[in-house]
Amino acid sequence: MELELLVKQFQDKNHAAFEKLYGMYHKSIHGVVYNIVKDTAIADELMQDVFIKAWHKADTYSSKKGRFFTWILNIARNAAIDKTRSKAFKQSKQNLNTDYFVDIIASHDNLDNSTDAIGIKNFVTQLGEKCKAVIELLYFKGFTQKEASEELQMPIGTIKTRNRNCIQQLRDMVL
């Protein structure tokens, strides 16, 4: 499979492979960290840090641990959360707005009218409140199923199935 080969080359310090993986995932990583730090410049810096870190600890990744995207997504969330805990960040961002990813997406001017962008915008505007919360916590904030169930006061099993339904809706719209 192509992705596997790409990751293997990336682990062998192949710049071209790294560039390709970067092209595939950097926007997502940027989106995730931006959703946490709510600052474009800091998100830019964090995203770079994430990819540099991934490059340097490439040999620690193993497909047994999960998807490559999931691996780098974890690095990104951790880096962004670490950032929000730093003293300097807390001082400069006293009133972090509490927008969810959906609010951010909705606020974007649709400069590129790609089907993806339109589809996702449709998706988030039609998305139920429960879906928004679950996706926010599980994908953007990196909550575990258990943490999310506590946060949303839902049974663990419900989190899992609800999330499944929400992602299914997303797939219907963008794939």
User: Taking the complex as a whole, how short is the minimal distance between the CB of residue 153 and other proteins, in angstroms?
Assistant: 18
Smallest distance, other proteins to C-beta of residue 50, A = 10
Give me the residues that bind other proteins (CB under 8 A), please: 13, 15, 18-19, 22-32, 34-35, 40, 43-44, 47-48, 51-52, 55-56, 63-67, 69-71, 73-74, 101, 104-105, 108, 116-117, 120-121, 123, 135, 138-140, 142-145, 160-161, 163-164, 167, 170-171, 174-175
The residue among 55 and 91 lying less far from other proteins, judged by its C-beta, is 55
Q: Which is nearer to other proteins, 2 or 91 (CB)?
A: 2
Q: Decide whether 120 or 133 has the Cβ nearer to other proteins.
A: 120
Min CB(7)–other proteins separation in Å: 13
Q: Are 77 and 36 in contact (CB under 8 A)?
A: yes
Q: Which long-range contacts (CB under 8 A, 24 or more apart) does 136-142 make?
A: 136/100, 136/101, 136/102, 138/163, 139/32, 139/73, 140/32, 140/35, 140/36, 140/77, 140/101, 141/36, 141/77, 142/74, 142/77, 142/78, 142/81
Provide, rounded to whole angstroms, the least separation between the CB of residue 39 and other proteins: 10
- Least distance to other proteins, CB of residue 96, Å: 15
Residue 38 gets the label, from left (phi > 0), alpha (psi -120 to 50) or beta, of left
Q: Is 39 left (phi over 0), alpha (psi -120 to 50) or beta?
A: beta
The residue written with tokens 């300097």 in the block is 88
C-beta closer to other proteins: residue 8 or 108: 108
Q: Which is nearer to other proteins, 7 or 18 (CB)?
A: 18
Q: Confirm if 49 and 55 have CB atoms less than 8 A apart.
A: no
